[in-house]
Structure 1
């Protein structure tokens, strides 16, 4: 079936440099469709879509959007779990030069409102069940069109259009695609909490979102063009799932098996039926498979290569998974601002316990003095990790000051504290100061705390991440009630559930008479975290 042209330089199985073509991912998919029209591109339960069909659907949606006035630079929001409509929309928006705004379908109204207003999106594509949330905020946004889809018949609201009917309406309509500046034109706004807890749109260019899956391809030295089956259960609205599952599969003429959520019985039966060869995930997914009864009888030995991200990968988890599958499972590292992967342990080479591995091809990394970013620290010293490469974002959407703070001379200052050893392997010593990572999701305490402070009975509150056997970390809130008030943990949790995505809601609440503070009144979050670790 041929192979990609960009693989060129190898040394001991680790590639160092790649050729990045001046193409969008959508253009690469079109080329694959021309050469391999009947090759399976997507599998979603009983539905299979070939590359030829994927190109047809993508062209029709692109034409419909362009007909209705969506032009280069306009923002189109996409709010959906992993579905064929997700992939079609993602590619169609690229074709007309518009910018895709990734929206987590678990977001509640206040979160959705912020992203729609910050991005200025004029169109949103979403699953039917999300319509009430979208409608509740539409009058406060620039949204002009709501495009909905579902997998069973439904009544289309009067102020929305059905995805399938909308696509069909463009039959016979032709559109001339605009020229793309691959290095500079934005392709995706990837919203990330950042260190402040305020969601910021990382501007990922067409080169960014193509470079990262190409780097993944080169790293997976056993990858064969047109022959991989990729299990797409990582959410594509997260940059990790977007690059390492969806885009990796698309640029390699892979077959992408879509699952809208991780449900272990469904995952195991899907593995048994479709025999995936590549399975990017997070540690909780691999833990669930390791502990599944008779896991070996589900054909998991088809899995050749897995990169784990979003949270530290315990070595015992990796070893047991490799024993069960016969494949490789290694830990990588990244952040939304880098599309996201920058480091990974070699899949077939030397890996080190506790390390995030080596920089990706064409990626530079260094450790700098957190107080003086111009001073690079020597091997073994602990400082801030800075990275540079073709996957690093252009900046934050409409936030020049924040952009200038983290991007300097092409270097992205991650805010993560790390060190490098004598072999060039990197180790994260401490994550961004307060961030909690639960089941691969980034949770910023400030956002949760702001909701807690809205509760009429709460005087003070602070949130920390505490160890959790399954999620890695979970959210715990320490609360001081106002004088004379009483409340239960269940009451506080229910209050949060109405105002936050499910993964951000505190799972534990501890009531205290007072919280530990510094002399100037700053709450000692680290002290509370350390108390939990000692339990």
Structure 2
């Protein structure tokens, strides 16, 4: 970034087809990758404009003798790189040049990074974030942590190709924090790492917290060293907030944001007034308005739902090579998020749903997130996700996918009875399907779109 080059961060879990699309879309000329992924990158090199490939080893910066023993102790995590054209090892390049600082070619309003949207709503797009965007959002987020001290540990369970992980990386540098890196975001591994690293702050998506709390080992740990939690990407069930509070006595900072906003635009005030079920208020230097869904022009008063719009220094420059898509969401400096929200009389924001996810059943608007929250209150439900499916009579009807807690049994009739006591009749799921696992993104966000695709395939198979 200092030399003016633009990194395009890629998700290694993507399919070859997805990676090929993003590499070509970004017009990448060079790849920097882990040694284990070299064969994959060499295949992609033949289908893209990639030239040189720089490989890195996990043990590059380990101290003696761990660095020397690593290839033998962790054979599945190390790959020897044989000499070959246009393939270089990172440490060889570093050691071959003087350590004098390079000239700073970065421009304040120039593109600093391309972060691709997760594709949860369709084909991923390259979000152009500027140096100004990155610097501004780090300072906006840091401004909320009044009592953070240099050297404290920060464990944000997000990969660096995700906007939240990217923010965490820069936040640690800005605030002088120790960034605890995660090998694999699996609850048993995380529990051990939390025990050994003792981070002061932990940030994750709700599914990570659900998984940790399901572990008896985690619930019995001494967690007094934790000073606070951060949650984002999806609403955090009240039950989870209360459990974490009982275990640690620490507060939960709920944030809301998008890749297009670098990502944070709202947050609950740190050690301030907490309103459960909200994602706080706009961070400093950020304007927010809520407009009607139909025209996008009428501003909605407190208490009424509408599309969320934001203006601030963290709002993206646009989508790379996609002027039409950019014009659809950026209007007069305002980013139209496509999310539905409600602001209360104190300015606290509650996320209702994605505009595209709203179910219109018999003329009524049904918000899936609201149903998910209620389903999660059932003592036997581990995870739940609601979608709208076609219905010849109602237009759409409500279908719930449910993961049952280990060792428990649950019936559709029990779920229906539970819902009827807690919501209006038109919101009660008419279809209920039990599933072993919900589809999730690389950061653990439940992919509602994939459930819609799954239901569509089942209906098409049944009709055939």
Give the TM-score taking structure 1 as reference length.
0.63
Given candidates 184, 206, 213, the residue that maps to 1:261 is 184
1:254-333 aligned at under 5 Å gives the runs 254-295=177-218, 298-333=221-256
Given candidates 316, 334, 337, the residue that maps to 2:257 is 334
Cα distance in structure 2, aligned partners of 1:377 and 1:96: 45
Cα distance in structure 1, aligned partners of 2:459 and 2:106: 57
1:219-230 aligned at under 5 Å gives the runs 219-224=144-149, 226-230=150-154
Residue matched to 2:107: 181
With over 3 angstroms needed to count, the CA separation of the structure-2 counterparts of 1:420 and 1:138, relative to structure 1, is: same
Q: CA deviation at 1:342?
A: 0.7
With over 3 angstroms needed to count, the CA separation of the structure-2 counterparts of 1:503 and 1:350, relative to structure 1, is: closer
Q: Check conservation: 1:310, 1:334, Cα contact below 8 A.
A: yes
Q: Check conservation: 1:271, 1:298, Cα contact below 8 A.
A: no
The answer to whether residue 47 in structure 2 is matched with residue 150 in structure 1 is no
Residue matched to 1:163: 90
Residue matched to 1:234: 158
Q: CA deviation at 1:468?
A: 4.5
Partner of 1:373, secondary structure, is coil
More moved, 274-283 vs 504-513: 504-513
Partner of 1:337, secondary structure, is helix
State the Cα deviation string for residues 390-426 of structure 1 (Å, max 9, x = none): 1111111111111111111211000111121111111
1:24-103 aligned at under 5 Å gives the runs 94-103=1-10
Given candidates 105, 114, 118, the residue that maps to 2:25 is 118
1:199-238 aligned at under 5 Å gives the runs 199-224=124-149, 226-238=150-162
Structure 1, unpaired ranges of 5+? 1-93, 446-463, 471-492, 517-535
Partner of 2:315, secondary structure, is coil
Cα distance in structure 2, aligned partners of 1:274 and 1:133: 33
Cα distance in structure 2, aligned partners of 1:335 and 1:467: 27
RMSD between aligned alpha carbons? 3.2
Q: CA deviation at 1:385?
A: 0.4
The answer to whether residue 117 in structure 2 is matched with residue 192 in structure 1 is yes
Q: CA deviation at 1:221?
A: 2.3
The answer to whether residue 439 in structure 2 is matched with residue 512 in structure 1 is no
Given candidates 373, 388, 402, the residue that maps to 2:311 is 388
Structure 2, unpaired ranges of 5+? 59-70, 72-77, 359-367, 373-384, 388-398, 406-436
Alignment coverage as a number of residue pairs: 369
Cα distance in structure 2, aligned partners of 1:196 and 1:214: 29
With over 3 angstroms needed to count, the CA separation of the structure-2 counterparts of 1:380 and 1:330, relative to structure 1, is: same
With over 3 angstroms needed to count, the CA separation of the structure-2 counterparts of 1:196 and 1:233, relative to structure 1, is: closer
With over 3 angstroms needed to count, the CA separation of the structure-2 counterparts of 1:219 and 1:466, relative to structure 1, is: farther
Partner of 2:272, secondary structure, is coil
Q: CA deviation at 1:187?
A: 0.7
Residue matched to 1:410: 333
Give the TM-score taking structure 2 as reference length.
0.72
Cα distance in structure 2, aligned partners of 1:412 and 1:176: 35
Q: Check conservation: 1:231, 1:279, Cα contact below 8 A.
A: yes
Q: Check conservation: 1:340, 1:391, Cα contact below 8 A.
A: yes
Cα distance in structure 1, aligned partners of 2:319 and 2:295: 23
Partner of 1:385, secondary structure, is strand
